[in-house]
């Protein structure tokens, strides 16, 4: 891949001052000034739509198209909810943006609100992100003090208030309607759809939900133009009419069994192998990789043989994964038991299921209990078929649940059984106990 100059991380890599004056000196809020002076909200929407920018939160839905779903000529209020929950394990790109360059994010929020005619933006931020919360609040205070938030921003007919709302550490609130329920002070249970948030969202008013990284990209799309984004990434596959392309830069997180865990910015389409070998410093302790989680645990698993898969919006699906997800790559080495990997994943989803839908509530619990039994050396060969059946029977795609948490819970189970079945069968036949289970039992 040719040399790539970071855009989203440019100021962060240069250790630039995150304050308002330094951000403006580097060209910050130039896009906002241009927009308020020369563009209508509809023109901003069309620019983002023409750029091909897709949401970075996991689903990859076209950002500009999402904005068009708002009712036309609605009297308001219209809200923007910013998903800064980032509770997908091993994902930390949003945290880096908020902590070290909050004004880049806030400029994107201002532009999105102008485009969608939103008068209030709520940033739903993960409670554990204390430093990010403080950095964002400091930046918001700076904007109010300089007429960049509040009434008649920069003397124009555009007013906006931005509020930070701290979540309570629930994974389910990363789902947009669960986020909205929590924001309203209720239990974070995803809503039955329709109506979708664009029609009836926060406080039963039209609402757009966008992710932090997506909005940071909006800042540069408006500043540089729609055509700029299309010079980066992967164009649509002409053989796939449903492919909207994978344009623009992406923040990739690399963690797990690598020498240098990090967050890097690269064009969409980089391979797992390049991320691990070039940017992650290779697999630690001189070992080889057994596999990885390519985009957060809800996306499933890849074997080492699949590391040449491009991480764009279509690549992971070609090797049986759910999608790109958050592009958080977590590597596990050749000494790691796939039973331990799968038990940890099942335990996580059983804990985080909100319990509203019976198939998810019961299915995630069953899978965790079966993996726990297997981990303790009491597994049966038929358990693999039962696990596979449960994993295939829960989620939106089989039509049994309200939200996609169950799909995310089932996908790594299906992947593990399909891709690592010989290891699982050998483990069951041997009646082994994993290193983890021995440690938990107090055996060293």
Tell me how far apart the alpha carbons of residues 256 and 317 are, in angstroms, rounded to a whole number.
Answer: 22
Residues 6+ apart with CB under 8 A from 194: none
Which phi and psi angles does 148 have, rounded to 5°? -105, 0
In angstroms, the Cα distances linking 146 to 17, 35, 112, 118, 151 are 18, 18, 20, 20, 11
pLDDT of residue 3: 77
Structure tokens at 384: 């693999």
Phi, psi (rounded to 5 degrees) for 36: -65, -25
Q: For the domain 338-440, what is the CATH code? A: 1.20.1440.230
- Residue ranges with strand state E in 49-198: 79-84, 120-125, 161-166
pLDDT digits (tens, 9 = 90+) for 248-304: 999 999 999 999 999 999 999 999 999 999 999 999 999 999 999 999 999 999 999
- The percent of residues in the chain predicted with pLDDT above 90, rounded, is 92
Q: CATH 3.10.20.600: which residues of the chain?
A: 246-333
Q: What is the pLDDT of residue 434?
A: 58
pLDDT grade for 239, boundaries at 50, 70 and 90: confident
Residue 198 CA: distances (Å) to CA of 80, 207, 274: 10, 5, 38
Please state which CATH number belongs to domain 10-231.
3.40.50.11540
Long-range contacts of the stretch 146-149 (C-beta < 8 A, 24+): 146/20, 148/20, 148/29, 148/32, 148/110, 149/110
Q: What's the CATH class of domain 246-333?
A: alpha beta
Q: Is the pLDDT of residue 194 over 90?
A: yes
Residue 133: CB atoms within 10 A of its CB come to: 19
Q: Residue 430 has what pLDDT? A: 87
pLDDT tens-digit series, residues 384-428: 999 999 999 999 999 999 999 999 999 999 999 999 999 999 999
Domain with CATH 3.40.50.11540 in the chain: 10-231
Q: What is the pTM of this model?
A: 0.93
In the predicted model, is pLDDT for residue 73 greater than 90?
A: no
């Amino acid at each position: 891949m040719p040399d790539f100059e970071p855009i989203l991380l440019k100021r962060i890599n240069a250790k630039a001052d995150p304050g308002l004056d330094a951000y403006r000196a580097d060209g910050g809020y130039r896009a906002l000034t241009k927009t308020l002076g020369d563009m209508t909200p509809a023109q901003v929407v069309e620019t983002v739509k023409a750029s091909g920018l897709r949401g970075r939160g996991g689903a990859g839905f076209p950002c500009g198209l999402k904005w068009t779903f708002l009712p036309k000529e609605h009297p308001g209020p219209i809200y923007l909810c910013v998903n800064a929950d980032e509770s997908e394990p091993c994902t930390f790109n949003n945290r880096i943006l908020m902590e070290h360059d909050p004004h880049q994010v806030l400029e994107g929020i201002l532009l999105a609100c102008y485009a969608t005619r939103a008068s209030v933006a709520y940033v739903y931020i993960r409670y554990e992100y204390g430093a990010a919360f403080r950095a964002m609040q400091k930046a918001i205070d700076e904007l109010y003090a300089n007429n960049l938030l509040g009434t008649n921003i920069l003397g124009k007919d555009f007013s906006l208030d931005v509020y930070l709302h701290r979540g309570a550490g629930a994974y389910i609130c990363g789902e947009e309607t669960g986020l909205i329920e929590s924001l309203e002070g209720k239990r974070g249970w995803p809503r039955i759809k329709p109506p979708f948030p664009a029609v009836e969202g926060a406080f039963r008013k039209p609402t757009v939900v966008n992710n932090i990284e997506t909005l940071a990209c909006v800042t540069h799309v408006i500043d540089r133009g729609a055509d700029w984004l299309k010079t980066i990434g992967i164009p649509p596959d002409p053989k796939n009419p449903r492919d909207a392309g994978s344009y623009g830069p992406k923040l990739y997180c690399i963690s797990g069994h690598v020498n240098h865990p990090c967050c890097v910015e690269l064009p969409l389409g980089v391979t797992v192998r390049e991320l691990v070998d070039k940017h992650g410093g290779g697999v630690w302790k001189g070992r080889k990789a057994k596999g990885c989680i390519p985009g957060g645990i809800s996306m499933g698993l890849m074997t080492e043989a699949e590391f040449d898969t491009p991480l764009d919006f279509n690549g992971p699906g070609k090797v049986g994964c759910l999608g790109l997800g958050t592009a958080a790559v977590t590597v596990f080495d050749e000494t790691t038991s796939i039973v331990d990997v799968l038990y940890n994943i099942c335990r996580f989803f059983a804990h985080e299921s909100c319990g509203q839908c019976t198939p998810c509530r019961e299915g995630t619990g069953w899978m965790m209990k079966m993996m726990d039994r297997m981990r303790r050396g009491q597994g049966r060969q038929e358990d693999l078929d039962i696990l596979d059946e449960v994993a295939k029977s829960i989620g939106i795609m089989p039509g049994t649940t309200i939200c996609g948490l169950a799909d995310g819970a089932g996908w790594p189970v299906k992947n593990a059984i399909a891709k690592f079945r010989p290891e699982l069968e050998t483990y069951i036949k041997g009646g082994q106990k994993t290193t983890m289970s021995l440690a938990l039992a107090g055996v060293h």
